[in-house]
Structure 1
């Protein structure tokens, strides 16, 4: 069973967020290609190379959140057109 790299999130009725991953299940008696199915992710799934983009998104998101600064909007003094042209 190998992961395809597709993932999705769902919310349980208690409000928890669950990561779903898609995997290829082999067909019965090995006929044809595998059948894709969705299942809840396990801890070992995060070590798979197919979920690297998900881990990179998390790393990028956390690195940007730590350096975020709160900026206040300062009103820009209004310059009248006549005064700007003259001086």
Structure 2
């Protein structure tokens, strides 16, 4: 029976998610954001490939990671703001 590698879910890497979100917010242009996003995606893809994770699982993990980063960006953007009607 072949062994199966189970990767630690990227969405549980809260420190990485927060770090990437903060760095993306610090970028001054959309071009810088896209370049950084590509670098991070390539790095994650490389790590998962070296670990032997199948391509389909890699795509799902990376998609979920970027969804979590986007949620963190929203959280950081609206942190401290109060909402609601008066």
Would you say same fold, with TM above 0.5? no
Q: Which structure has the larger Rg?
A: 1
- 1 or 2, which has the higher strand percentage? 1
Between Structure 1 and Structure 2, the one with more helix by share is 2
TM-score where L is the length of structure 2: 0.30
